[in-house]
């Protein structure tokens, strides 16, 4: 039997190969896409992600700058840095690594990024465009989830997609993207009654709650596609929101953690940065 485990790293490599070709084409016209990554403080996980983003840029020929700002920086200073990057011609995409220190207003910082450079797709204008179905930068993790589902060869059309989690970064946008693929969508959350019964109706289950192994085999329909967005650290090990070992025998396809959705988040960021660059010329 062919493996039913979706290899997010492999899919990422395939997409990054074609992105590399696109960057080469741009370079022939003396154009190079540029990304600025801003990180505040020294959270080790955030540092890992930022390093991974810079390295991924470097690998495919995107110019990148990383700004490591101290924990004590004021919101005003951070906003000034963003203003500077907004008017920097070499920079087509700007992202501020989240979470930010608690004294800084995250939404105010995101809103300061020019919507044209908002390659995370978190700016209110891009979120609003997504809601009404206009062309916008898609948030990277949700876009990565949809791409992984499509690459199984299955379609979302007419399927029941059950999303667990309602964050602005994953749950809500992935529900909208599923809707635009003509899926029937249910969003579950911490107040949902009969969660297990609802998840069991899902032809496609997308778990984005941040609770280790909360989706167990008894909750999953035979043959469902299971996409695990969770990244939980338990005793120094990464585990998803899905009990992978149990659920993999029931699912038609399933993403592992690590090596599933995570790498796709960065791949979609690269793609958005190239799009931002092309739009600017
Ligand atoms: N400004 C943003 N902040 C955050 C985002 C985001 O998209 N934009 N998403 C997450 C963190 N994140 C990217 O920033 C991210 C998380 C995980 C991975 C990843 O590749 N994970 C690997 C495992 C890596 C590890 O060992 O820790 C995997 O799942 O295989 C990439 C990006 C929150 N903040
Ligand atoms: Mg993301």
Please count the structural domains in the chain: 2
Asked whether residue 133 is marked as a ligand-binding residue, the answer is no
User: Do 91 and 194 belong together in one domain?
Assistant: no
User: Do 187 and 88 belong together in one domain?
Assistant: no
User: Do 36 and 124 belong together in one domain?
Assistant: yes
Instruction: Report the alpha-carbon distance of residue 278 to residue 274 in Å, rounded.
Output: 6
24 within a domain of the structure (yes/no): no
Q: Which residues are catalytic?
A: 53, 97, 120
Domain harbouring 123, CATH code: 3.40.50.10860
Last residue of a domain, one of 129, 150, 170: 129
243 within a domain of the structure (yes/no): yes
Domain harbouring 215, CATH code: 3.40.50.720
User: Do 84 and 167 belong together in one domain?
Assistant: no
ipTM > 0.90, yes or no:
yes
Q: Please write the tens of the pLDDT for every residue from 112-127.
A: 999 999 999 999 999 9
Q: Please write the tens of the pLDDT for every residue from 28-65.
A: 999 999 999 999 999 999 999 999 999 999 999 999 99
Ligand 1 atom 27: residue of nearest CA: 45
- Give the C-alpha distances (Å, rounded to integers) separating 14 from 11, 52, 148: 5, 17, 12
User: What single-letter DSSP state applies at residue 155?
Assistant: -
Instruction: Report the alpha-carbon distance of residue 163 to residue 178 in Å, rounded.
Output: 10
Closest to 113 (Cα-Cα) out of 131, 135, 91? 91
User: Do 62 and 114 belong together in one domain?
Assistant: yes
Asked whether residue 233 is marked as a ligand-binding residue, the answer is no
pTM exceeding the 0.90 threshold for the entire prediction = yes
Q: 3-class SS at 115? A: helix
Asked whether residue 231 is marked as a ligand-binding residue, the answer is yes
Torsions phi, psi of 171, nearest 5?
Answer: -55, -60
List, edge to edge, every strand of the sheet that includes 34-40: 63-69, 34-40, 93-96
Q: Please report the atom of ligand 1 found closest to the CA of residue 45.
A: 27
Of the bound ligands, which one is closest to the alpha carbon of residue 230?
A: 1
Query: Residue 165's domain spans which residues?
Result: 140-262
User: Do 85 and 181 belong together in one domain?
Assistant: no
Q: Please report the atom of ligand 1 found closest to the CA of residue 140.
A: 7
User: Do 106 and 162 belong together in one domain?
Assistant: no
């Amino acid at each position: 039997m062919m493996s039913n485990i979706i290899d997010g790293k492999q899919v990422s490599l395939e997409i990054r190969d074609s992105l590399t070709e696109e960057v080469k084409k741009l370079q022939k016209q003396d154009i190079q896409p540029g990304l600025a990554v801003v990180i505040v403080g020294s959270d080790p996980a955030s540092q890992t992600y930022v390093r991974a983003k810079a390295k991924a840029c470097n690998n495919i020929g995107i110019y990148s700058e990383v700004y490591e700002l101290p924990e004590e920086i004021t919101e005003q200073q951070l906003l000034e840095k963003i203003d500077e990057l907004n008017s920097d011609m070499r920079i087509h995409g700007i992202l501020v690594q989240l979470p930010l220190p608690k004294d800084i207003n995250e939404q105010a910082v995101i809103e300061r990024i020019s919507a044209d450079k908002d390659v995370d797709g978190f700016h209110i204008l891009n979120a609003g465009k997504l809601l009404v179905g206009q062309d916008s930068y898609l948030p990277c993790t949700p876009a990565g989830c949809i791409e992984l589902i499509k690459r199984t060869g299955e379609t979302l059309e007419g399927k029941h997609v059950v999303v667990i989690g309602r964050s602005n970064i994953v749950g809500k946008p992935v529900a909208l993207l599923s809707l635009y693929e003509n899926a029937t969508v249910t969003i579950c959350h911490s107040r949902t009654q009969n969660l297990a019964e609802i998840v069991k109706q899902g032809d496609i289950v997308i778990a984005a709650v941040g609770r280790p192994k909360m989706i167990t085999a008894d909750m999953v329909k035979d043959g469902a596609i299971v996409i695990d967005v969770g990244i939980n650290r338990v005793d120094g090990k990464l585990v998803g929101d899905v009990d992978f070992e149990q659920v993999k025998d029931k699912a038609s396809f399933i993403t592992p953690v690590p090596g599933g959705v995570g790498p796709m988040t960065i791949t979609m960021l690269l793609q958005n940065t190239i799009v931002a660059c092309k739009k600017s010329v």
